[in-house]
Structure 1
Amino acid sequence: MTVEIPKDLRPQAIQSIERYFQENMDERIGNIAAGALLNFFVEEIGPLIYNQAVADVQERLQARVSELDIEHHEDPFQYWRKFDAGKKGRK
């Protein structure tokens, strides 16, 4: 799977890189260079972050699935217990 930044959010990401350089580096970075740097990070590091997010979600889902039997367990053969309990209350 290719990691991509939505087209409508890409300009904000580029502006953020430009601002980071402006406030933290000795030199500024232009729009084209910031876009190229963004492409590099998305292609090079994006999959690492994506894979970790998938692993985190998988772990959480497995934990939830393992709890299903506890949360939604119903004891079988309850009809006669209810019936017998009703009889005791009538005597």
Structure 2
Amino acid sequence: MIEMKFSSTDKEALVYKVTEYFENELGQNIGNFEAEFLIDFFIELIGPALFNKGLNSAYRLLTERMDEFYYTVQEQEKPSPYEL
């Protein structure tokens, strides 16, 4: 499976959001270090399930589009007295 990594910029933004959430919603101050460990924990815990859901959604969407394409192609076919 693909390893889930965030860029340092994205990780900093996530850490900020987590620390902000803890402070605003839970009234607790956690440090950046703790927030980063919490993010890593959740990535490991639920990351694969979210990844799989994303893959399944992409597959479903692609299948729908391919079905639409197939019908569009069929509509364009011209009658022919010869089958090749």
Asked if these proteins are the same fold (TM beyond 0.5), I'd say yes
Query: 1:25-64 residue pairs with structure 2 within 5 A?
Result: 25-64=26-65
CA distance in 1, matches of 2:67, 2:22: 47
Give percent identity, aligned residues only: 24
SS of equivalent to 2:9: coil
What TM-score does the superposition give when structure 1 sets the normalisation length? 0.77
Deviation, 1:5, is 1.8
CA distance in 2, matches of 1:50, 1:26: 31
Moved over 6 A (4+): none
CA distance in 2, matches of 1:45, 1:5: 15
> Does the Cα contact within 8 Å between 1:4 and 1:42 map onto a contact in 2?
no
Q: Bigger relative contact order, structure 1 or 2, given CA contacts below 8 A and separation 6+?
A: 1
Q: Which has the larger radius of gyration?
A: 1
Gaps of 5+ in 2: none
SS of equivalent to 1:4: coil
Q: Does 1:75 align with 2:72?
A: no
Deviation, 1:69, is 2.0
> Does the Cα contact within 8 Å between 1:14 and 1:35 map onto a contact in 2?
yes
Deviation, 1:76, is 4.0
Deviation, 1:59, is 0.3
Gaps of 5+ in 1: 79-91
CA distance in 2, matches of 1:68, 1:76: 19
